[in-house]
Amino acid sequence: MTRMDERYNFRESERKWQTCWTETAAFSAEEGSDKPKCYVLEMFPYPSGRIHMGHVRNYTLGDVIARFRRAQGFNVLHPMGWDAFGLPAENAAIQNGVHPAKWTRENIQTMKAQFQSLGLSIDWSREVATCEPDYYRHEQKMFLDFLKAGLAYRKTSMVNWDPIEHTVLANEQVIDGCGWRSGAPVERRELAQWFLKITEYADDLLSALDGLEDWPERVRIMQHNWIGRSEGARVWFDLVGRDDKLEVFTTRPDTLFGAAFCAISMNHPLAKTLAEKDPALRNFISACNAAGTSEAAIETAEKMGYPTPLKVRHPFDPTWGLPVYIANFVLMDYGTGAIFGCPAHDQRDMDFARKYGLPVKAVVAPANADVAAFSTQLEAGAEAFTGDGVAIHSDFMNGQGVAQAKRTAIARLESRGRGRGTVQFRLRDWGVSRQRYWGCPIPVIHCPHCGAVPVPDADLPVTLPEDVTFDLPGNPLERHPTWKHVDCPRCGKPALRETDTFDTFFESSWYFARFCDPKNTEAAFDRAAVDYWLPADQYIGGIEHAVLHLLYSRFFTRALKTCGYLGLSEPFKGLFTQGMVCHETYRASSGAWLCPAGVEKRADGAIEIAGGAPVTLGRSEKMSKSKKNTVDPSHIIETYGADAARLFMLSDSPPDRDLEWTDAGIDGAWRYIQRLWRLAAQPSVPFAEFADLAGVALAGSAKETVAMTHRTIAAVTEDLSKLRFNTAVAKLRELSNQLAAVKAGDEGAATAYRFGLDALVRLIAPMTPHIAEEIWHALGNAAPLVASDWPKADPAWLVVDTVTLAVQVNGKLRGTLDVPLGAEAKAVESLAMALPAVQTHLAGRTPKKVIVVPNKIVNIVG
């Protein structure tokens, strides 16, 4: 073998192998391969500037899987791209005067180089950036197809409007009722927006969650709650003295006989009509709007009602009239924007009734309750009864349980033409319009004569103009001198382009499909390519996308299926949500956050390195710029190497839990890398040329090493398949410890050592690929390790011939017993009874019972 240096030079080695992998295109996905496929995908990054530790963790996890599967003989697709549209690019443009395109492309270059320095097994030939027209042109086409299929539509709705920035804000960008950047109180405004009809698939998106067995339960529950299916009824109340009806949604049609009032949203069409002629009502509405939309404001906001002159007739008794209120707690965008109130069986309705002096009538009582006494108590109190029970004071429903009464009420409503059973979802259609420059233009032209006209296919893509300015607030596309002025494709008269762009979640809803065929200019992707590669076998990313991105992608895949783009509904077969990377926080006495690099920890506390002022240690939190508790990955890679950084990411915590970044941890990983090198460069035993065990007699530590090597191969293979990287690392360290303990004098030591070392290097390669290649090469292998197969455990070596049994007396461990595998219970029992410790603890008693679990344990009950 080649001579090995005493110390491992990671800088030289990492650069060398990265170049080798690139030059040999070692990670290209094969076209037309007959190997089984494996699509490994991490959520693609937003090119914000530089990579952070969260990226390192995310892409390391995916890379281990990709390398492991490749070694196992899969045709692996492991691509990378850039979620390149978004607000930060525009903010940079406003603050620093740099064009969003330039800023984004430069960030991509920087981050790509950083990812490459991590040694990720990415097929870079498939790289895509969503801000390029050759990407977004396809989603413009998709949108037009959605439009044709009735899956996209335009609607006027209430939005969060920032009066300083002149733009709509997403709900996530409204903090305590104010714009996240301007700080100005957000206004509710009505605006015409484009929507995607995600509700069309609500039932399927919900029921298909059960089939996503390789998704975390947590994510499925979150999506389940987000979709929020509830069964109930729409009920039509006739308006007294008018021809129209008030439509109400309820989940409790069984309590209709307890109705005391109806309430409608202040945005309900009826309320608007009334407000036109009623200044007091207008005051009421603006007072409610001013109350704010933050959670805290909602929490404390009083339930307020405004009595209208309207009255409605009860659906089961036309002589029974109910008042109609306009109430601040009724939402226009859930159900029908109108409710009926049953104070006795809904706490909020009860509060409302008490405040406005409305009647309370009990219509459900617990089974076996004294109906008269229960009713009297309930109707006098302030607490609603929402539990299960039977209908009372409810005419034809009396005596029925809640579930049965609901069915009876719905049947009656339907037969009388006063309502129908229905399913209501909490999920709302996805508003995709953004008054932003740095996004994909919505391919529509507004014509004063023809309305909203789709841009003809031949005119796609609609590209963003580059000559825009950011010196004024608002959308630069809106004030661009020429861009929006076009002729109507239908009538040819002057018309205006849509100046809104798509929400950035649009791009990320289909990029996984583009990776299957990224260079296609004719179509978004070739059908055969997505049929082969999709679904992604393993998708990895942060839990923060549990609902938004992951739900949008599931919807998009269904919509694309409806439009004939592909043939499947679920894009991600397996999902893994990794934990955050955390770090201790530090604060100066002034309260200012301090960087870890500027703080020195001592036995008696921490101080600022510059100046020596005392520092307050805070709890460990997710690394963030605002708390300054970040560690720069590039600095770590330069100091310790990519392999050490990768190993630390994998070794300390299970991947789904938060990882605490510590200096000691990265030091430990670095030391292990060096130790691994010494196992090859300065072995305790001069090892053999080949790891060929045929005909080699083994004894003592040599035999144990071979046995442990086989056990480790089996265990690590199992651990990696189940993403248990931390325990895989622990087992590899145990094998390292075993190699260091091989005794030169034991028979077969040289071969056993070489055998163990070979396996160790191959098993650790997915985690620390550079040093693995370096050792592999130094051991005399001509072909690179990335082209080598995954080791296989010999089942014969996994069978043990003796086992150590625990011997308990009354459930307490009193000794152990080495017996042959499968030893007979009777024999084991007498051996156990013969143990001195057992006799001591029995203290002369005769055992009542002896439990022998073969190959595991003996418990003597005395």
Partner RNA sequence: GCCCGCUUGAUGGAAUUGGUAGACAUAACGGACUUAAAAUCCGUAGCUCGGUAACGGGCGUGCCGGUUCGACUCCGGCAGCGGGCACCA
Is residue 380 classed exposed, middle or buried when 0-12, 13-18 and 19+ CB atoms within 10 A define those classes? exposed
State which residue, 125 or 225, has the beta carbon closest to RNA.
225
Do strands 433-434 and 501-502 pair parallel, antiparallel, or not at all (unpaired)?
antiparallel
Q: How far is the CB of 660 from RNA (least distance, A)?
A: 6
Neighbouring CB atoms inside 10 A of 306's CB total 23
The DSSP secondary-structure symbol of 790 reads P
State which residue, 529 or 676, has the beta carbon closest to RNA.
676
State which residue, 231 or 457, has the beta carbon closest to RNA.
231
State which residue, 423 or 613, has the beta carbon closest to RNA.
423
State which residue, 445 or 714, has the beta carbon closest to RNA.
714
Angle between the N-to-C axes of helices 279-290 and 269-276, in degrees from 0 to 180, rounded to the nearest 10: 130
How far apart CA 733 and CA 79 sit, in angstroms, is 31
State which residue, 468 or 550, has the beta carbon closest to RNA.
550
Distances (CA, A) of 610 to 374, 601, 613: 72, 13, 8
Q: The tokens of 194 are what?
A: 């484009």
Furthest C-alpha separation in the chain? 108
Q: How far is the CB of 67 from RNA (least distance, A)?
A: 21
Q: The tokens of 36 are what?
A: 């089984």
State which residue, 124 or 329, has the beta carbon closest to RNA.
329
How far apart CA 684 and CA 672 sit, in angstroms, is 16
Q: How far is the CB of 3 from RNA (least distance, A)?
A: 20
Q: How far is the CB of 859 from RNA (least distance, A)?
A: 4
State which residue, 153 or 334, has the beta carbon closest to RNA.
334
Neighbouring CB atoms inside 10 A of 211's CB total 11
Q: How far is the CB of 608 from RNA (least distance, A)?
A: 22
Answer positive or negative: Cα dihedral of 251, 252, 254, 256. Answer: negative
Q: How far is the CB of 207 from RNA (least distance, A)?
A: 18
State which residue, 496 or 740, has the beta carbon closest to RNA.
740
State which residue, 137 or 406, has the beta carbon closest to RNA.
406
The DSSP secondary-structure symbol of 185 reads B
Q: How far is the CB of 637 from RNA (least distance, A)?
A: 20
Q: How far is the CB of 300 from RNA (least distance, A)?
A: 10
Residues facing 187 on adjacent strands:
161
State which residue, 340 or 572, has the beta carbon closest to RNA.
340
The DSSP secondary-structure symbol of 686 reads P
**420 three-class SS:** strand
Neighbouring CB atoms inside 10 A of 848's CB total 9
424 Rama class: left (phi>0) / alpha (psi -120 to 50) / beta: beta
Residues facing 191 on adjacent strands:
157
Q: How far is the CB of 275 from RNA (least distance, A)?
A: 18
How far apart CA 303 and CA 349 sit, in angstroms, is 10
Q: The tokens of 836 are what?
A: 């001195």
Q: How far is the CB of 222 from RNA (least distance, A)?
A: 4
Beta strands in 344-437 (DSSP E): 364-365, 390-391, 419-425, 430-431, 433-434
Q: How far is the CB of 377 from RNA (least distance, A)?
A: 22
Residues 6+ apart with CB under 8 A from 36: 73, 74, 75
Is residue 105 classed exposed, middle or buried when 0-12, 13-18 and 19+ CB atoms within 10 A define those classes? middle
Is residue 544 classed exposed, middle or buried when 0-12, 13-18 and 19+ CB atoms within 10 A define those classes? exposed
Residues 6+ apart with CB under 8 A from 203: 229, 423
Q: How far is the CB of 331 from RNA (least distance, A)?
A: 4
Are 712 and 735 in contact by the 8 Å Cβ rule? The answer is yes
How far apart CA 752 and CA 254 sit, in angstroms, is 77
Q: How far is the CB of 304 from RNA (least distance, A)?
A: 8
State which residue, 93 or 304, has the beta carbon closest to RNA.
304
Q: How far is the CB of 404 from RNA (least distance, A)?
A: 18
State which residue, 89 or 742, has the beta carbon closest to RNA.
742
Is residue 539 classed exposed, middle or buried when 0-12, 13-18 and 19+ CB atoms within 10 A define those classes? buried
State which residue, 214 or 487, has the beta carbon closest to RNA.
214
